[in-house]
Structure 1
Amino acid sequence: MWSLAVTVLLSIQGSVWSAYPFDFSERECRDLFPERIGKDSLNVGNAHSEEIFTIEPSETIHGFNFGSTQVLIKANSKWRIQGIIMQARVIGNCKDPQQKHPVGHFEVPENHQFLRAANCSGDQFKTVTHKKYPINTDSIVINWFPPENFKAEVYFVATIVSGKNEFWTGIVSHTIRHKDKPVTPGHPQCPMRSKYRTSATSRPSPQGSTGRILHPNNLLICTLLTAILWTVYHN
């Protein structure tokens, strides 16, 4: 029975730690910045950061049918994809809080090699992240579906982890416009946070540098472990 308790505990802890370095807080679901690492992103001071990783949707226009858009995430240099958080967002006023909400949903089968759905702000399939850390790959493919009767212009945005305590923010795709609307000129994708800071409402875990996240799910772990130990003691 003791071996069962240990097995269950390690299994649950593994699912929590695999989220490193993301905790999917309300703040992180908006800015996609892993404060637990406690550093600036590698974009800062890197003039060619947009070339390190790319996001390549299979479509440039949507609205012809209700089919999916295939999204390819690629590593184009010595850095590989070790972890990721990604969303689709609408082109619009970057100062509008609504612009920071994801749209559509990703198709994430249980047998996907690298990705799983992330529960961001209660919308489980609007954000994807890695199943485990590190995934150590140079490419990922995932399907995304727009909302029904959707006519906005969208793009994909991601933060990619390239190594322990190393990450890149603001990785964006080209935009996908609706068939009845013109494409927005220039580079309308909203800039993403790249510099670390702390605040009274969002502080990094002191365990962030170890790759083990202090996650709310730890409450569930303690509860389950207590129940298992109580069963062992009374049997």
Structure 2
Amino acid sequence: MKKRNLELKVLDLAKTELDKLYGFYNIDESQNDRPDAAINVIEPRSDFDEKNPSFKVGIEITSVDKEDVQAYFNDQTYGINKINEAFAENKKNGGKINHANKKMEIFVDEFYIYEGAMKKLKKHEDYAKSNIFKDIILICHSENTNSNKLLREWTNFLLSKENFPFDKVLFTALETQKCFLIYEKKKPLLTEPRPFNHVRHQRAEITIPIGHHNILGALLNEPIIQPKKSAKRTKKH
């Protein structure tokens, strides 16, 4: 999916949370860079200042997935010949598949979303200088974690410790298409959550032909295209 299309999808998935936070709004179609998006709040929630009946919110949108993981799964050219050969062989064998196209084990710890959000730290100062936006928020998204409640609490705590300057941070899980408010600058979480047990998430890409196939077996075997040697599958603090 093209970057802009993905940003618009993430923005759409955040609609319910944005409604709760700000009230009735429309999207500023002219805003597509620095920051990635903006909304015009037409009918603010009652708890906003009535002297300012409408205002603009700047929105930065970012993936928190590691760059090497994104590069591996998004590259549609590297190893394509191997995939085509395997697909042709599968058709000869009645549709049986023995390997995923790509597969990687991804390490998710309490720092996973936090680290992705911190990459955008310096952006806030640039956007704030414009004096255009009442709020500047960050929407994070991931294809590799659905962000359970404890992970969201840890993200809130870690960002609160940093006094993260974005007014709010939302997180969207692309797999479940659910969006959560995970941080508000005015409501920091100062109590450390209980320990987080890291998760090893396996992500795979499989081409499934018509016929009989053994998906479980394919997931257990090595993929057709291995991650490049430079890719780091895990990161531990």
Q: Same fold (TM over 0.5)?
A: no
Larger helix proportion, structure 1 or 2? 2
Give the structure-1-normalised TM-score: 0.29
Which has the larger Rg?
2
